[in-house]
Amino acid sequence: MDIHKEIDTRGLNCPLPILKAKKALSDMASGQLLKVVATDSGSLRDFQAFAKQTGNELVEQQTVDEEFIHILRRR
């Protein structure tokens, strides 16, 4: 998977990971991939809702130890 941008939102709680992802996506071209690394367990459902609301595709979600990794494709 060719990640175009990665943001680290470890230690931040809702809604900051979503806000940072929204800002990062606004600077990206359509089809590019954004990786978001978060430690907020609520980010799993937050990013699912965010993808539905914005039309960006939630390509993948993983939980690795205490971290939650979200891959979004810019619409």
For residue 3, count other CB atoms closer than 10 A to its CB. 10
Q: Contact at 8 Å (CB) between 2 and 33?
A: yes
Q: Contact at 8 Å (CB) between 45 and 15?
A: no
Model pTM?
0.96
The 10s digit of each residue's pLDDT in 12-61 is 999 999 999 999 999 999 999 999 999 999 999 999 999 999 999 999 99
Catalytic residue, candidates 14, 16, 28, 59:
14
Decide if 14 is catalytic.
yes
* Residue 1 pLDDT: 87
Q: SS3 for 25?
A: helix
pLDDT confidence bin for 3, thresholds 50/70/90: very high
